[in-house]
Homo-oligomer: A and B are copies of this chain.
Amino acid sequence: MDFKECFPIWDKLTKEQQDKISKAVVHRHIEKGTVLYNGLDCTGLLLIKSGQLRAYILSDEGREITLYRLLDGDMCLFSASCIMSSLQFTINIISEKDSDIWVIPPDVYKNLMENSAAVANYTNELMASRFSEVMWLIEQIMWKSLDKRLAAFLTQESNLENTTSLKTTHEIIANHLGSAREVVTRMLRYFQSEGIVKLTRGTVEILDLQKLKKLNS
């Protein structure tokens, strides 16, 4: 697949704009575990051809919480925070799988956006969609207990990886949920005692996906 087939509003650009963005865009192959953005540089927008990226925030003490995932065809806007002066927060982006992405330089996109209502409105929809994910997260953090959040997370991971045998650690899960490892361990052991999961070193095996989904409903 070419960039133009992946870029959602290609047809709404003028021929000139299409040429400009085509020439500027850079293809990158990213190994799993690469930090693509940490708020220091204005990397540009990332369009995911294939793979999986994770957006998260980091506390001063090194604690983490996952904001959302970016999958095939998704666009990452906040790695180009310099294109909007009101974007006053820092997120981090890391690849969770080997990924193929296109990087759109921030100045090129900013110029497009300023001159094209179509691009500006697409950007609005993009931001609204991330905003919705973050609002969902706030509601989870505020009103849901950890057992429900852990159940939702394990269900989601099982869908993403297409397996019930998750290669992960309690530490990694805690970083996704913004919780402490000890708390996650305790909850996982409770799930195990209820026959929902089986814990072995480096693996959480889901034994009863229905029960897990029910917990979160």
Contact = CB atoms under 8 A, between A and B. Distances in A.
Interface of A: 57, 59-61, 63, 65, 84-89, 91, 113-117, 119-121, 123-132, 134-139, 141-143, 178
Nearest to A120: B120
Contacts of A61: 143
Contacts of A89: 131-132, 135-136
Number of copies of this chain that the complex holds: 2
Contacts of A135: 57, 89, 91, 134
Contacts of A125: 84-86
A117 B127 CA distance: 16
B116 A59 contact: no
A83 B116 CA distance: 18
Shortest 6 CB-CB distances between A and B: which pairs? A120-B120, A89-B135, A86-B129, A86-B128, A88-B132, A59-B143
A73 to B, nearest CB: 15
Contact of A178 (B115, B130, B142): B142
Given A88-B128, A124-B127, 4 more contacts: A59-B143, A60-B143, A115-B117, A137-B138
Contact of A123 (B87, B124, B131): B124
A189 to B, nearest CB: 24
A68 B128 CA distance: 17
Contacts of A85: 125
